[in-house]
A and B are shown apart, each in its own frame.
Chain A
Amino acid sequence: MTSARRKAYGVKGAPYAFLLPATILFALFFALPIGYAIWLSLHKVQVKGLGLGSGARSEVWAGLENYTDALTDSELLHGALRVLGYGAIVIPVMLGLALLFALMLDTDRVRLAPFTRLAIFLPYAIPGVVAALLWGFLYLPDVSPFYFVLDKLGMPQPDLLDGGPLYLALSNIAVWGGTGFNMIVIYTSLRAIPAEVYEAAKLDGATPLQIALRIKIPMVAPSLVLTFFFSIIATLQVFSEPTTLKPLTNSVSTTWSPLMKVYQDAFGKSDIHSAAATAVIIALVTLALSFGFLRTANSRTRQEEAR
């Protein structure tokens, strides 16, 4: 009866009809641009002679040339290493602070919780470029109030826009801006833990610290994994902070991070073909790293559950 009716109304095609809008959108605004980027990355511009006048320039097939060029470019490698160093500071510090703040807000004795939560979250609402400009001004010795105070106190004034401290300076901007968001994610999942669990723990005589370490952290592990996953992607795509600080110092080159190199190739050197190849490489590395992490994290949680 039911199957007959389904046939009668032609419901078999319905799922596809429902899928159609999403498929079209996906094809138009996702698959097509990516396909075009890959197509660009496999071509290059060939100039004849002096290259002046019409017809002197043509787009030719380049094969994997742009890819081999990008992979053998030491500047891209150095950029990747710089970003790794930056990420090694940002991710642990930012997530550590986010977890700490979330746990502290979740304790019973906290006062002014809504205000504190908002105050920690607020920097996330400030656009990255604005935050970088704001901090950039604070890092410049001649205009920073901090340096003024240090100078008056006769303390040493480190150059924050050079060498090692530059990494701290850049990381600080990311930590300042990102901690609040991650804290909210972790805090939300903390609030979702049923109260009975705490009651049981208290009856068993667990201290608040023990509750935090033995119950809360393991129970919010999934959201920790999630925030870690987001942070890896955000770190690999770091662009606006160093780009905004670049005009303020000689220490940030135009190719400081891999994404800055893509921008520089495309808009500084007008070479969209190499830029496309580098962009594809960055996308693949980001995919591999973030999903690699997600897989290991998932398999570990599953193992623990099995135990």
Chain B
Amino acid sequence: MPNTKLGRLVATSVAVALGATALAACGSSDDDSRADSGPVSLTYWSWTPGMDKVADLWNKGPGKKDQITVTVKKQASGDTLVTKILTAHKAKKAPDLVQAEYQALPTLVSNDALADIAGEAGGVKDKFAEGVWQQTTLGSDAVYAIPQDSGPMMFYYRQDLFKKYGLKVPETWDEFAETARALKKKSPDTDLTTFSANDSGLFAGLAQQAGAKWWTTEGDKWKVGIDDAASQKVADFWGGLVEEGAIDNQPMYTPAWNKALNTGKQIAWVSAVWAPGTLTTAAPDTKGKWAMAPLPQWTDSDNVTGSWGGSSTAVTTDSQHKAAAAKFASWLNTDPEALTALAKEGGIYPAATTAQTSDAFAEPPAFFSNQPDFYTKAADIAKTTAPSAWGPNVNVAYTTFKDAFGKAAKNKSDFGAALKTMQDDTVADMKKQGFEVAE
């Protein structure tokens, strides 16, 4: 007995001692050199695969000359990273550079996590399409990030099965609905596609194509237009198709969805420029059988698309070397060598317009070898991207979307009501936080 007690005591003392050392180590880790003249080392949080290799290009090339070294720390993508950045920022320890999706920028800016780099990086504005650049300024004179990749939306379909079932590639959404119905008649077990409620970005992109502006500002007040006429049109359209059973209502990215795509149970997918990558893993047996077309339009005369995904590089307010960080961010997203490497190593579709037609995109993706002009077409479609309007609580709207539309899709009930829930919850959350919201 005494022995065990003594053992426990020793163990606890050692644990305390270790804990104390660890704490001490935490406390003393932040006294790097502050001077901007000497060598600078920057930390960059990014989820793009192969980003470390692109950073190496910088460290060995332009970075070496300027004595700026960038270290990439690989992160989880999307919303989880936003939370992580905000938490780190609370402790004033956010990294110098972060990757952020466009819709997360207002949330980050509103938490004062992103620095205005208009002075250092405003010069690269011309390299990007107007609609893309405007997302990084939030409609002000400030520049909070530099666009990295974009996700113009497109329509993907099984070329062989469209031929087999005698279907025409829809050019308008009315034709899309007709195609879905015609397919159901010819092959009741096959669906044109599914309405998935587990990725809010898809619906946001479709609403954006229809002309929706979910968050706008009026003087000192926010205006939330999630249930505006354009979004209602989109919600009713998809809700109608689900209700009549013309398309499936099961979520995407499940094993069942992969199988449906792989076996031709679902023969089309409304997606974005990055779809080839997803299809490669989800439906490996269908290589070379898909084709890409522009997104169906609401009227014959329209030619617009929405965007789904895409991200930017931002400099944080916690960075001690903002100018150096902005320099790297500009190089990363506008330099031809960097963009080619990003496309090759990270498989991204660059936001910089010149890069979209560069040599890196001369060949189609391997999965679409049957469509040699894939990237020429993609670049043309990218030019038609409608501007988007993000607000400070996109995360709340997106979460509500998943729950409200998930429920509506499951019950095949009114999508308009789900949209209303999304609007109400978003406005309520903004008011609760203290934002001025115009009715």
Residue numbers of A with Cβ under 8 A of B are 18, 21-22, 24-25, 28, 45-57, 137, 140-143, 162, 247-251, 253-255, 264, 266-270
* Chain B residue at smallest Cβ distance from A21: B12
Determine whether the beta carbon of B106 is less than 8 Å from that of A52.
Answer: yes
Of B9, B138, B259, B395, the contact of A143 (CB 8 Å cutoff): B259
A57 with B406, Cβ < 8 A, contacts A50-B435, A51-B435 known: no
0 or 1 for each of B1-35: is its CB under 8 Å from A? (1 = yes): 00000000100110110010000000000000000
Asked if A250 and B109 sit within 8 Å, CB to CB, the answer is no
Q: Which of B285-319 contact A (CB under 8 A)?
A: 317
Please classify how large the interface on chain B is, using the bins under 10, 10 to 19, 20 to 34, 35 or more.
Answer: 35 or more
Least distance between B124 CB and chain A CB atoms (Å): 22
The answer, yes or no, to whether B167 is at the interface (CB within 8 Å) is no
Residues of B within 8 A of A49 (CB): 220-221, 435-436
A269 touches which one: B80, B259, B395 (CB < 8 A)?
B395
- Contact (Cβ within 8 A) A21 B9: yes
Q: Which of A47, A137, A249 contacts B435 (CB 8 A)?
A: A47
Q: How far is the CA of A92 from the CA of B111 in the complex (A)?
A: 48
B residues in contact (CB < 8 Å) with A:
9, 12-13, 15-16, 19, 79-80, 82-83, 86, 106-107, 109-112, 138, 140, 197-198, 217, 220-222, 249-251, 253-256, 259-260, 265, 317, 392-393, 395-396, 399, 402-403, 406-407, 409-410, 429, 433-436
Question: B112: which of A54, A142, A255 is its contact (CB, 8 Å)?
Answer: A54
Q: Which B residue's beta carbon lies closest to that of A28? A: B19
Task: Take A25-B16, A48-B434, A267-B80 as given contacts and tell me if A253 and B406 are in contact as well, using a CB distance cutoff of 8 Å.
Answer: yes
B254 touches A247 (CB 8 A): yes
Q: Known contacts being A21-B16, A57-B112, is A268 close to B140, with CB within 8 Å?
A: no
Looking at chain B's contact residues, the main secondary structure is: helix
Q: How far is the CA of A258 from the CA of B83 in the complex (A)?
A: 20
Which residues of chain B are within 8 angstroms of A21 by Cβ–Cβ distance? 9, 12-13, 15-16
B-side contacts of A24, CB under 8 Å: 16
Residues of A within 8 A of B19 (CB): 25, 28
The smallest beta-carbon distance between A61 and chain B, in angstroms, is: 14
Knowing A49-B220, A267-B80, A270-B82 are in contact, say whether A247-B112 is a contact too (CB < 8 A). no
B249 touches A250 (CB 8 A): yes
User: Which residues from chain B contact A266 at a C-beta distance below 8 Å?
Assistant: 83
Contact present for B79 and A267 (CB under 8 Å): yes
Q: A24-B16, A50-B217 are in contact. Are A264 and B255 (CB under 8 A)?
A: no
A127 to B138, CA, bound (A): 44
